[in-house]
């Protein structure tokens, strides 16, 4: 009985075995694995894209609300508005004069903020003429749901849909912010502020985003305030989100608000799961076609052609061994159309794909570094919002005590400067400002310090006229001025002087902050310089480190930062940055 031996197998079968082992199985498994990975990646990416769409809608709606709420907050504390609504007018002429002198100023907010359509006021002051945005708080108004809801909320605005009084259908087609004007407690009249939002803008926020499904805006009670579902009628009734039928095989995306006036409000997006699988099916068809090209045609060639060149096979094996050493060199030569030729093409495709996949790994590594950079930038943004609370408390306490002990007119000016400081510190606004804006904020701060210490602290500001319109990072110099005042001049027994100089020189902006304060010990000075390079540690010297990191972020290595200090002599800070207009 003859023993089975591989050499006894015919060449055709040998080639078939080689093909199955070396080409068919690897390519099949590669395509299966590639299909599974691709399908999951495509589905994950689609989920991520849809989630970003919902998040984008939520952010744009919040931005529109922020504008309107900010305007309502300004009017909420406007004493002139309270006086206008509470005054008992003796004649129509007197009221018209008051209306023209104040109320028309309110309309200036409408063209400035695209989210605001109109501003209306309600009052029970019977001497007021109810026209032109003024309405009476009568019994019918007090029976409306939005009016009752506004009475249960103190200080914060109410965001709701209300009916349009211009028609008799009681349709809830006006999206408004309601706020009772009760900031000043000595009220003689009931006052309600209504800011009607731009319905077209709100509709545009939710309709323009390419989200393949229905979008719902829910209030804190899970009631639908707005939806892109045109089959759902919200004009005459309140609809609970839980009461609407949701089809099977759907995916729900949700973005919830946590800010005070939109607390527990949500933006919900519902889409058919088929939307997620549509691109997966396209990828599947492509992989099937590619697999057919790679497998069916080579199989037909091997079945019908029984001869081949041994050297070509060896050449293929040689290149396959190179792949083990991560050498993805392609097989060059004529493209024959027999089995080995197809195998050669398949190998080249496989090597190219593997090489591309390896390159993709490096790309992922680069993306991770980009994410790390974004994390650093987020850390810097968090640093931007920090401010020394002890300084604020000390200043406010000083102003309060001085106001009690003396009747000084300058107190109002100091409070105004303090308000500017607080507004600039808590509302960042923009990353870049002009030198003129920065100097204005510095003057506010120094006026406050001068008020605290009388003649103990003097200051001098010298700026080139052409430097005023130069652009610098927001709050670039104020941390150094604060350090010079608090840590340099304040501990000084004699009179202190802070000098701020800004010059334009050779397409560069040279900024110097100098004080004649107590200065720093050499050890403290060295620790300060060393701390600037410890990026992960955020503790002491937050303001100076914040400015240094921002300079690195904005200018990379195109800036100069110098600190010079001597015990008993004072400190000098010098910044040299590119001149920008």
pLDDT 10s digits, 69-110: 888 888 888 888 888 888 888 898 988 888 888 877 787 888
CB 337 within 8 A of CB 62: no
Does position 407 have pLDDT exceeding 70, yes or no?
A: no
CA 438 to chain centre: 24
What was the pLDDT predicted at 573? 92
Tens digits of residue pLDDT in 341-352 = 777 888 788 878
Residues 475 and 406 in one domain: yes
The parent domain of residue 264 ranges over 43-276
Q: What are the C-alpha distances in Å from 194 to residues 123, 211, 455, 514? A: 11, 32, 49, 51
Q: Are residues 241 and 261 in the same domain?
A: yes
In a domain, 35, yes or no: yes
- Contact yes or no for 433/472 (Cβ under 8 A): yes
State which of 325, 351, 372 marks the end of a domain.
372
Residues 537 and 569 in one domain: yes
2 within some domain? no
Same domain, 161 and 189: yes
Find which of 132-141, 277-286, 497-506 is predicted with most confidence, using mean pLDDT. Answer: 497-506
- Own/partner long-range contacts of 356-361 (Cβ < 8 Å, ≥24 apart): 358/326
One domain for residues 54 and 28: no
Helices and strands per DSSP (H, E), number in the chain? 18, 16
Please give the backbone phi and psi of residue 565, each rounded to the nearest 5 degrees, phi first: -150, 145
Note whether residue 380 is domain-resident.
no
DSSP 125: -
Pick the last residue of a domain from 256, 276, 296: 276
Nearest to 251 by CA among 266, 277, 269, 232: 269
The structure tokens listed for 184 are 């000043």
Question: Which range among 2-11, 151-160, 248-257, 533-542 shows the weakest confidence by mean pLDDT?
Answer: 533-542
Report if residue 422 sits inside a domain: yes
Tell whether 192 and 204 lie within a shared domain. yes
Hey, is 237 helix, strand or coil?
coil
Percentage of the chain with pLDDT > 90?
9
Q: Model pTM?
A: 0.44
Q: Is the domain of 421 the same as that of 321? A: no
The CATH number for 572's domain is 3.30.565.10
Residue 171 has pLDDT above 50, yes or no: no
Range list of β-strands (E), 336-493: 432-434, 457-463, 471-473
Q: Are residues 225 and 135 in the same domain?
A: yes
Mean pLDDT of 396-422: 65
pLDDT at 509: 94
Local confidence band at 463 (pLDDT 50, 70, 90 cut-offs): very high
Residues 278-328 have pLDDT tens digits of 767 777 777 777 777 777 777 676 665 555 556 677 777 777 788 777 787
Is residue 5 in some structural domain? no
Q: What pLDDT is stored for residue 397 in this prediction?
A: 57
CA 194 to chain centre: 29
Q: Is residue 3 in a domain?
A: no
What is the overall mean pLDDT for the chain? 78
Domain end marker among 276, 300, 331: 276
Both 549 and 508 in one domain: the answer is yes
**What is the model's pLDDT at position 170?**
43
Q: Please check whether residues 34 and 70 belong to one and the same domain.
A: no
Q: Are residues 431 and 352 in the same domain?
A: no
Q: How many domains does the chain have?
A: 3
Tell me if 256 is assigned to some domain. yes
Least confident among 18-22, 122-126, 500-504: 18-22
Q: Are 138 and 259 contained in the same domain? A: yes
Domain-located, residue 235: yes
């Amino acid at each position: 009985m003859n023993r089975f031996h591989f050499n006894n197998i015919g060449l055709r079968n040998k080639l078939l075995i080689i093909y199955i082992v070396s080409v068919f199985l690897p390519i099949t498994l590669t395509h299966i694995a590639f299909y599974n990975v691709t399908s999951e990646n495509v589905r994950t990416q689609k989920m991520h894209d849809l989630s970003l769409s919902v998040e984008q809608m939520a952010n744009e709606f919040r931005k529109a609300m922020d504008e309107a709420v900010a305007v309502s907050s300004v009017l909420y504390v406007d004493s002139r508005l309270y006086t206008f609504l509470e005054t008992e007018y003796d004649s129509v002429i007197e009221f018209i004069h008051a209306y023209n002198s104040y109320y028309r100023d309110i309309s200036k907010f409408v063209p400035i903020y695209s989210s605001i359509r109109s501003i209306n006021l309600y009052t029970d002051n019977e001497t007021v003429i109810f026209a032109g945005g003024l309405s009476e708080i009568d019994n019918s108004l007090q029976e409306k749901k939005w009016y009752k809801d506004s009475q249960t909320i103190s200080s914060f605005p109410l965001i709701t849909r209300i009916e349009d009084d211009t028609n008799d259908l009681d349709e809830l087609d006006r999206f408004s912010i309601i706020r009772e004007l009760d900031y000043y407690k000595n009220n003689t009249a009931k006052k309600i502020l209504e800011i009607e939002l731009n319905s077209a803008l709100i509709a545009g926020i939710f309709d323009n985003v390419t989200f393949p499904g229905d979008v719902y805006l829910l209030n804190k009670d899970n009631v639908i305030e707005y939806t892109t579902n045109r089959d759902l009628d919200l004009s005459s009734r309140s609809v609970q989100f839980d009461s609407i039928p949701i089809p099977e095989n759907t995916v729900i995306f949700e973005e919830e608000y946590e800010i005070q006036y939109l607390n527990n409000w949500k933006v919900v997006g519902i889409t058919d799961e088929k939307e997620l699988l549509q691109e997966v099916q396209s990828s599947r068809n492509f992989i099937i076609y590619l697999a057919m090209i790679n497998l069916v045609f080579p199989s037909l060639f091997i079945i019908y052609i029984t001869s081949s060149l041994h050297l070509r096979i060896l050449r293929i094996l040689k290149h396959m061994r190179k792949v083990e050493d991560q050498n993805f060199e392609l097989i060059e030569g004529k493209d024959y159309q027999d089995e080995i030729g197809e195998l050669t093409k398949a190998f080249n495709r496989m090597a190219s794909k593997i090489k591309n996949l390896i390159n993709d790994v490096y790309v992922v590594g680069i993306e991770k570094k980009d994410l790390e950079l974004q994390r650093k930038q987020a850390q810097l943004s968090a640093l931007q919002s920090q401010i020394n609370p002890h300084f604020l408390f000390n200043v406010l306490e000083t102003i309060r005590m001085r106001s009690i002990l003396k009747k000084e007119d300058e107190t109002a000016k100091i409070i105004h400067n303090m308000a500017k400081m607080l507004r600039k510190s808590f509302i960042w606004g923009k990353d870049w400002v002009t030198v003129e804006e920065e100097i204005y904020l510095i003057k506010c701060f120094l006026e406050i310090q001068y008020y605290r210490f009388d003649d103990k602290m003097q200051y001098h500001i010298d700026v080139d006229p052409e430097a005023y319109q130069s652009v610098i990072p927001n709050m670039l110099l104020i941390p150094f001025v604060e350090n010079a005042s608090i840590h340099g001049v304040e501990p000084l027994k004699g009179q202190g002087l802070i000098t701020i100089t800004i010059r334009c020189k050779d397409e560069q902006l040279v900024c110097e902050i100098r004080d004649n304060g107590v200065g720093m010990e050499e050890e403290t000075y060295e620790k300060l310089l060393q701390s600037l390079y410890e990026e992960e540690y955020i503790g002491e010297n937050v303001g100076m480190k914040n400015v240094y990191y921002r300079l690195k972020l904005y200018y990379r290595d195109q800036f100069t930062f110098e600190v010079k200090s001597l015990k008993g002599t004072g400190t000098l800070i010098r910044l040299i940055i590119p001149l920008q207009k």
